[in-house]
Structure 1
């Protein structure tokens, strides 16, 4: 579980100091891409979950495009790579996304500036298709058909890297991905445990071609040995095979002369360490290949140990007629398999109809002629029902039914409980909190019934440990926004115990979107969250104080007043703003003085925030200050524009003391700032509806005669409202 908990961190700890500045943004983008991929697979286009997740993925990618014009992800089995950084292999979301791309034989995918939501959707549709064991050509053709201008994908046909007797090696696509692996191998920075398999899968000619671009002056002896050892798959636990030796010979023959000698010397050193394995390999190697190896060694004047030289000479003298058929007692031997004459007769054309009747042939022809498109929709639904997600969910339901029944033993019950633990961890890692709650419900029901009470109680206790709750909170950070209702339900299930971990996660969270979501979970507890929030008000970091005051404001309660008051005059205006808002919401007038100070502040932002608070909470105490600000002489168009928020605040309060000041503004005329004054007058008439009609009916009558259409419309609306 500790590994799972750590898995939701953005990147590996040992790379943390090297990460690019947009690491968090990149992490969010990948997470949202994987979420939208899953939703596109499950739901039709237009479904709220699909549209919401597509929007989020699109927004994060747009933010990344502000930093660079394209984003390229390389895939190495279950690892994602960007630039020279490996994303955390333990992160279940990264791993799931990488494995799915790898399943489609995608070596790398690039998202380019100009990308649209429709292109993301079509890309996910492509990823959702079941291509079975299709060739790379089929995959590439299917990808090209959807015509994605701003998404590029490179495919690798892994089957082409396996050398089979009687087959020629197919040419596989090269690209930046292979270059990255080879440069990492030469530099000694490649994580060989995770990625050496990818190096071994590079076709020998392509491998040689990439190495030919390298300057030999920069390579050391240990570098040559490292390349050969990796490419041969040689280790202390296993020897190399004849297929790998053939591949290595093709690789060496493709090198330029100066590199060929060095790599050949390294090969001789490497294979000479295990003469017995070499002999076994040479027994399986064609004689012409052995002769080619000796010729190459002689041409390059490479010194080889006497034991290896004798062994090579021995095998080069062996002759084998591969063209002749091998017979044993009149029977044909093919690939070491004895084929009897009866079988040969059966397979002959003349006897075919004896064993395959005309009726059977007609049935086969019917199958070949059948139009499968008629049932394509049914098959699509069937494939969906057979997906890993659906099967896993049904399997989980079956286990829950079994542990609720009386037909299983204690040992079987224990095994099922352990299986549920694995399922539950996976459900949490993928944000399926509804399934988690179903499991909890069944276990709690079993506990009430006393069914294997000790085992059940132990399982329930585990799900309430700090370690498990921490894992849950990490999952909520990453996956919770997609399933808000289920997230709220599971938080409600844990009750007040989860508040502290949520607050701690909020404090450390770097994403604004995730912070908003965590705050929504915390505030759902109402004033029950206040004690834990108040504890964290003493944190020295200003943004922590601000967030805690915001939560107290949302949660409410009279107990927050004495804790919020000290922060009204805080040195950071954002903290002071939240403290004032918190107290105004609680109905405490202590903050009025601080509010007035902010109204008259030289900071435009502080003044606007104070105006907004004054109007929102209808603070009558600041009306004289607002009137004074409104009467202040304007000397530019900008000055008139800045009076609009003052008019809005006064209008929201609706205090009749402001009407005379409004009349003065309405009588103002100017040749230079006519447009600005007209906008201000329009705002006055928009807010008149909040005043007593009897106090300003003269303004309404004048407005109905105005040349300004907006003023006439607003005046008529107020009068009609008054007349009913």
Structure 2
């Protein structure tokens, strides 16, 4: 019924669960098209699809479904074009100009029924196809999202302008190459319904934009498999077809592959199947993609297959690719042909591990990155990275090395310099260079560019330790809400040695800096010697008081006093913090405060209800009478007291009685009465089920 695309071989097939789901989805859509609204067969179809989806979404947060003209793409697998049931489903979705459908965890039968009813209406009977509607139509369901497929936005043929008649003919044909590229772009850019990417923007099909979206997307199996499915189809298309559209597709996909991060390409290769399947994919790509993309794919396939090809050969391929792109007119076609021939022979049966010694391999790898030789008007200055690496290796610290260090430290990003120093063997020259690079002044320069230099700052702080404190404190004093938290974590990572510096700053800082310093102490293993958070628990600023309460709650001697004071705080966030602690045990004093605040209209109703729920655990007659007074009304009906009007506080009191006082006769009577109430919220609260809400 289903088969993996021929690009990946016959051994990979769609799972039975996914196959059954697609069949049920197609049948359900057909039933909605022929039966009227309210027909039981429509309801049963939606219910069956919902059960299938529940099972599929149990272990995955989302399920994405790509749409081609005659096929569906799901988790990297394409359905067979000659399957009539699934071909009909693909055609229906395609006629609505839809490029993808996404289901998320929590989808309901009602949502599925509504989507089926919407899709069942033929595109010709609507004012316009669904894919041309606005987002309020495509995203009207909470757990199902439809994504449009607009071919008019795709301009594959960039080499020359087309006349109006040619453009109309191209749009009418909607070629296979255009379908594949726009499908890949949509899958990459539109798979996350929360993404702010403008899917209707003209640059949404730019290869760099698509590659950036794939790189930055959180690694998700369903997402990766959809992207892989399109890559496999494109490789097969480029292998078999020619013409201007295929050339434009080759240009775009080659640029995309070359732009992808190596880690992303490695992950996508893993999703592409076993060694045999990866070999078939690379062979197809060899015949159709640009040489630079071919080399990237070979390297990724080699790493995914545990480096079963010769490193020297990969370096030779890199050199051939440079000549194929930038060589002389005579050398370019020869290098291109030689590269593709070598890759074909290589991938057809690679098995050898790299036989070269490590030092020889590193030397060859550096040589492979050099540009083509014999360019008379070009100059080849020595790169600072190369000079520094040579100095570290031979342990010579001369003028060339210092000049290289100065050039690299003048760059905005010091990552490359730090990587070289970290990778070097332990030696006197490594220590000397680290002392020159990792300085408070250098850290201050990087903090001026923060948060763009986050990783570099973290590495410098790890080296400087206490010497990093002053630059970090200076940066913290001018930080924003967004950048303050990571700076606080970096300060706390220095350890107890930073305590005296924080104590000195606390006495002279403004309220915002005081809050950050208290947060730093809170993240340290132990507060500095002589520090007392109680004076800050009475600070005029509520955020400072909140950080002080967090510190005091950790100290047994001051815990209960701090919680009681926070329960009376005018700031709701401080009250909520204290209520979280009270849930673990409520004292008599705290219960009295909560009873008083139950009628405090300056607090929100949900917070007052949370306070009632928290005090219910305190065992005293005063607590019981308070809860009964909140639940019971003032009227008698058949010798029984009526219930108070429903409110968040009343429900919380009822849940508290059920959880802590159900054995008391006075509570038992009113709980029995409430459990029979026609209001489900009241009945749930009286039978403890509402207590967890």
TM-score, scaled relative to structure 1: 0.39
Quick check: which has more Rg, 1 or 2? 1
TM-score, scaled relative to structure 2: 0.40
